[in-house]
A and B are shown apart, each in its own frame.
Chain A
Amino acid sequence: MWIYEKKLEFPIKIKNPDPRMAKLIIAQYGGPNGELSASLQYLNQRYGIPTSRAKGILTDIGTEELAHMEMIATMVYQLTEGVRPEDWVDASLGGLYVEHGGIFYVNPDGVPWTAAYLKSPGDPLATFVSNMAAEERARSTYEHLIRLTDDPDVKEPLKFLREREVVHFQRFGETLNYLEGEITKKKFY
């Protein structure tokens, strides 16, 4: 089970609204390499993976990604809080304002999130190679976002999230090595 904690993993307080940046950051909410995708991908993979260590890393990284999704939602929320409806339209966010009154699971081009983004191949090596690639894609998205803002209130949480992708990549790599070792021990799964 999960228990909600009324707190973000990293503090966010954005003083200046910037709907243009909100539109870009939503990539990490409802985009293919976003936090929703990462979380649901890892949590689902748990049911087709051998070894307790692999189940542990998928559970705990999948859970942390949910907390990251909340950070991204918070950034989009604060970047658009209190802006006029015309400002949503001027930032090409008119669709979100009209249909959702705020945040929804779409990418910056308005494409709705789909489970078809997820990779859950049911093979231990394919799973972890795929997850390492997912972390690298998320890292690169964060690096692009960091280049697109000068606001430290926005930059700092993005840098934190970028750093987490690097750590997750590392832990997935270690899990991959471990699984390869288990397989060469002639324990076939």
Chain B
Amino acid sequence: MDYLDKPDNLGKANYISRKELLDQIRQLQFMSIELTLFLNTHPYDSAALEDHNATVTKLRRLQNLYNKRYGMLTPMSISRGDSWEWVESPWPWERSYEED
């Protein structure tokens, strides 16, 4: 997909909403959790190893894209602008969090 290939391009053609990007990150992260647990008990499974590395590579790109476009998912990320962004967006238990 376009936004995956050009994560630095902020043009309109590459628009992805916050919620959509968040859900994609969540899906990749879920795959990574599943593969981690599986690999802990199948450490020589080469297909799973390959899937894990591919998933994490993709995940990192989307996390960087989220950070650039929508802000901080962890405190160990770039805070854009003049104020500390970490405390400016909703918390996950608040209903407004899952809105676009």
12 A-B contacts (beta carbon < 8 Å): A5-B73, A7-B73, A11-B23, A11-B26, A12-B98, A15-B95, A53-B40, A57-B37, A60-B37, A78-B93, A168-B37, A171-B37
Residues from chain A with a CB closer than 8 A to the CB of B97 are: 13
CA distance A60 to B34 in the complex (A): 10
Given contacts A6-B89, A74-B92, contact A60 B98 (CB under 8 A): no
**Is the pair B34, A70 in contact by a Cβ cutoff of 8 Å?**
no
The 8 A CB mask of A59-99 against B (1 = contact, 0 = none) is 01100100000100110011001000000000000000000
**Is the pair A3, B74 in contact by a Cβ cutoff of 8 Å?**
yes
Residues from chain B with a CB closer than 8 A to the CB of A73 are: 93
Residues from chain B with a CB closer than 8 A to the CB of A74 are: 92-93
Residues of A5-53 whose CB lies within 8 A of B:
5-15, 53
- A175 near B: Cβ within 8 Å? yes
CA distance A15 to B80 in the complex (A): 32
**Is the pair B95, A13 in contact by a Cβ cutoff of 8 Å?**
yes
Please list the 4 inter-chain residue pairs (A to B) with the smallest Cβ-Cβ separation, ordered nearest first.
A174-B41, A74-B93, A13-B98, A56-B40
CA distance A12 to B91 in the complex (A): 12
Given contacts A4-B74, A11-B23, A11-B98, contact A171 B41 (CB under 8 A): yes
Residues of B1-28 whose CB lies within 8 A of A:
22-23, 25-26
**Is the pair B92, A78 in contact by a Cβ cutoff of 8 Å?**
no
**Is the pair B26, A171 in contact by a Cβ cutoff of 8 Å?**
no
Given contacts A56-B40, A61-B37, contact A8 B76 (CB under 8 A): no
The 8 A CB mask of A125-149 against B (1 = contact, 0 = none) is 0000000000000000000000000
- A167 near B: Cβ within 8 Å? yes
**Is the pair B41, A53 in contact by a Cβ cutoff of 8 Å?**
yes
CA distance A74 to B98 in the complex (A): 12
- A117 near B: Cβ within 8 Å? no
A26 to chain B, nearest CB (A): 14
B74 to chain A, nearest CB (A): 5
CA distance A51 to B30 in the complex (A): 26
A119 to chain B, nearest CB (A): 21
**Is the pair A81, B95 in contact by a Cβ cutoff of 8 Å?**
yes
- B56 near A: Cβ within 8 Å? no
CA distance A72 to B72 in the complex (A): 23
Given contacts A7-B22, A13-B98, contact A178 B41 (CB under 8 A): yes
Residues from chain B with a CB closer than 8 A to the CB of A5 are: 73-74
A68 to chain B, nearest CB (A): 11
Further 19 A-B residue pairs, CB within 8 A, beyond A171-B37, A171-B40: A4-B74, A5-B74, A6-B72, A6-B74, A6-B86, A6-B89, A6-B91, A7-B73, A10-B26, A13-B98, A14-B95, A53-B43, A56-B40, A60-B36, A64-B37, A70-B92, A70-B93, A78-B93, A171-B38
